[in-house]
Amino acid sequence: MSTNKVIHALYNDDDVLMDAVKQTRKAHHHIEEVYTPFPVHGLDKAMGLAPTRLAICAFIYGCIGLSTATWMMNNIMISDWPQDIGGKPSFSYIQNMPAFVPVMFEMTVFFAAHLMVITFYMRSRMWPFKQAENPDVRTTDDHFLMEVAVSGNENDMVSFFQNTGAVEVKVIEKH
């Protein structure tokens, strides 16, 4: 089993954390993760994270839902069991489409919402019964933790993070 070291720099203010993230990126240190008790606006850009592609997935899932609804209604109401409901003709999907719009909308939303939740959980690696990966319980209350991979001189990096305003800096062996 391989081990590598990471530095846990703990901050008690989100503005100090933002400045520390910018300084860390400027010093070319690799930030593994940042743990915060609440969302910090602009942190993703400061860390240099790529924009999310979940909106593209939502569009694709909506199209799948719309296609499924169209296929389902054509097979059920036109091909398999055509019925004269309220005087509507049942020999053409196009003629019945105004009556099918609510079903198409609901299936689009249903597929997009449910598949987005599944995609989010899989992308975040949040499996059922998975243990929490929070390295310090204070990050769920009032502290911010930046996890940085140790590269080069460990003592220089510790002093660097102490100078960024960290209230606590620890070197941890990660398995």
Whether residue 35 lies inside any domain: the answer is yes
| Number of domain units in the chain | 2
Query: What pLDDT sits at residue 113?
Result: 97
Q: How far is CA 112 from the centre of its chain?
A: 15
Whether residue 129 lies inside any domain: the answer is no
DSSP 3-state of 150: coil
Q: How far is 11 from 18, CA to CA, in rounded Å?
A: 10
Q: How far is 36 from 126, CA to CA, in rounded Å?
A: 18
**Given a cut of 50, is residue 114 above it in pLDDT?**
yes
Whether residue 147 lies inside any domain: the answer is yes
Count the Cβ atoms, other than its own, within 10 Å of residue 160: 20
User: Which CATH number covers residue 165?
Assistant: 3.30.70.1150
| Average pLDDT of span 12-41 | 93
| pTM higher than the cut 0.85 | no
Q: How far is 107 from 113, CA to CA, in rounded Å?
A: 10
Strands of 168-174's sheet in order across: 31-35, 144-149, 4-11, 168-174
Residues 59 and 47 in one domain: no
Q: How far is CA 27 from the centre of its chain?
A: 27
**Given a cut of 60, is residue 1 above it in pLDDT?**
no
Whether residue 128 lies inside any domain: the answer is no
Query: What pLDDT sits at residue 89?
Result: 66
Q: Are 147 and 7 in contact (CB under 8 A)?
A: yes
Residues 60 and 85 in one domain: yes
